[in-house]
Amino acid sequence: MEKIMRVNLSELKVKVEDIPKEYQGLGGRGLTSHIIGREVPPMADPIGLKNKLIFSAGILAGTTVPSSGRLSVGARSPLTNTIKEANTGGAAAQKLAKLGLQAVVIEGCAKELTSLKIDKNGVTFIPTSPAKGVGNYELIERMRKEYGNSISTISIGPAGELKLKAASVMVTTPDFHIRVAARGGLGAVMGSKNLKVVIIDDAGSDKLEVKDKAKFREATIALSKALLSHPIVGIFRDFGTPALVMMINALGCLPTKNYTLGQFEGAENISGERMAELIKND
């Protein structure tokens, strides 16, 4: 991955460029935050034309390294007015990597609700006004029927279109479940660009080449064993992110009543352990 794709929605133009020297070696959050910091004016309106929305894979995305398929979504946040990154799982990062893209930078604003299809041939701009107000679940099913099962999508629902400050960005897994880039209201930024969905299809793209396959395999196996042997991995496998609720509550760091308190007396009822119990007994 050595390319950045810039998509100007105002002009419906695309430019693919080598990663500039100042961004080389970066991926994920590091890259999205550097781009925002260097290219977006400090006082830019988060839902204005000067803000940029960036999707970036990590530097090991597209490989067999475990946990390397996270997608970073970056922009100036409408919630905090500062640089923000929201992180999510799903298949989009792996597919961007296999297309040779370290990042996709969305600039400007489309004149009408628009979708992008990114594949080995480049970008297709798709007028999407009929999908206005459509929720993510229905939208994803439509995309799946139209473009097949080899895609991943990055999308917003009505909240993003309305530029609500807590709107999220949704990313699909290989089996079309939803993962969420939930922090910072970046769904509102996507909505401000009049961008409904990004469809990523890596069919026919070249796989990433590893220079020293033996060493890479050795390192990957060692990392996999280390992860599997760590006790926290089993806890997350069983209870997901809510496994942290009781840990953070015990440390006095659980945001409660607008951060006026660090502990919540009902924490046990919203913990991962409690959720797992309810699901098991359902």
First and final CA of the chain: distance in angstroms? 45
DSSP state of 177: -
Quote the CA–CA distance of 221 and 219 in Å, as a whole number.
5
Cβ atoms within 10 Å of 159's Cβ, excluding its own:
18
Answer yes or no: are the C-beta atoms of 141 and 134 closer than 8 Å: no
22: burial class by Cβ within 10 Å (0-12, 13-18, 19+)? Answer: exposed
The stretch 165-180 carries a mean pLDDT of: 96
pLDDT tens digits, one per residue of 196-212: 999 999 998 877 788 89
Least confident of 40-49, 52-61, 109-118, 221-230: 221-230
pLDDT tens digits, one per residue of 21-65: 999 999 999 999 999 999 999 999 999 999 999 999 999 998 889
Q: Is the pLDDT of residue 67 over 90?
A: no
Using a pLDDT cut of 90, give the percent of the chain over it: 85
Residues paired with 71 in a beta bridge: 57, 88
Quote the CA–CA distance of 102 and 119 in Å, as a whole number.
14
The pLDDT, as a whole number, for residue 257 is 94
The stretch 231-244 carries a mean pLDDT of: 87
Taking the CA atoms of 115, 68, 279 and 159 in sequence, report the sign of the dihedral they define.
negative
Token look-up 């004016």 returns 41
The stretch 161-188 carries a mean pLDDT of: 96
DSSP state of 101: E
Beta strands in 108-191 (DSSP E): 114-119, 122-127, 151-155, 169-172, 178-181
DSSP state of 183: G
The stretch 174-191 carries a mean pLDDT of: 96
The stretch 109-119 carries a mean pLDDT of: 97
The stretch 108-130 carries a mean pLDDT of: 97
Model confidence, pTM: 0.89
Strands laid side by side in the 71-76 sheet: 13-18, 3-8, 101-107, 53-57, 71-76, 83-88
Say whether 262 sits in a helix, a strand or coil: coil
Quote the CA–CA distance of 112 and 108 in Å, as a whole number.
12
Q: What is the mean pLDDT of the chain?
A: 94
The pLDDT, as a whole number, for residue 235 is 87
CA atoms within 13 A on the CB side of 49: 8
Amino acid at 209: E
Least confident of 23-32, 49-58, 230-239, 263-272: 230-239
Domain boundaries, the chain: 3-201, 230-281
Angle of the 272-281 helix axis to the 231-239 helix axis, nearest 10: 50
> Is residue 280 very low, low, confident or very high in pLDDT (cuts 50, 70, 90)?
confident
The pLDDT, as a whole number, for residue 209 is 81
Q: Is the pLDDT of residue 1 over 60?
A: no
The stretch 246-252 carries a mean pLDDT of: 95
DSSP state of 256: B
CATH number for the domain formed by residue range(s) 3-201: 3.60.9.10
The pLDDT, as a whole number, for residue 91 is 95
> Is residue 2 very low, low, confident or very high in pLDDT (cuts 50, 70, 90)?
confident
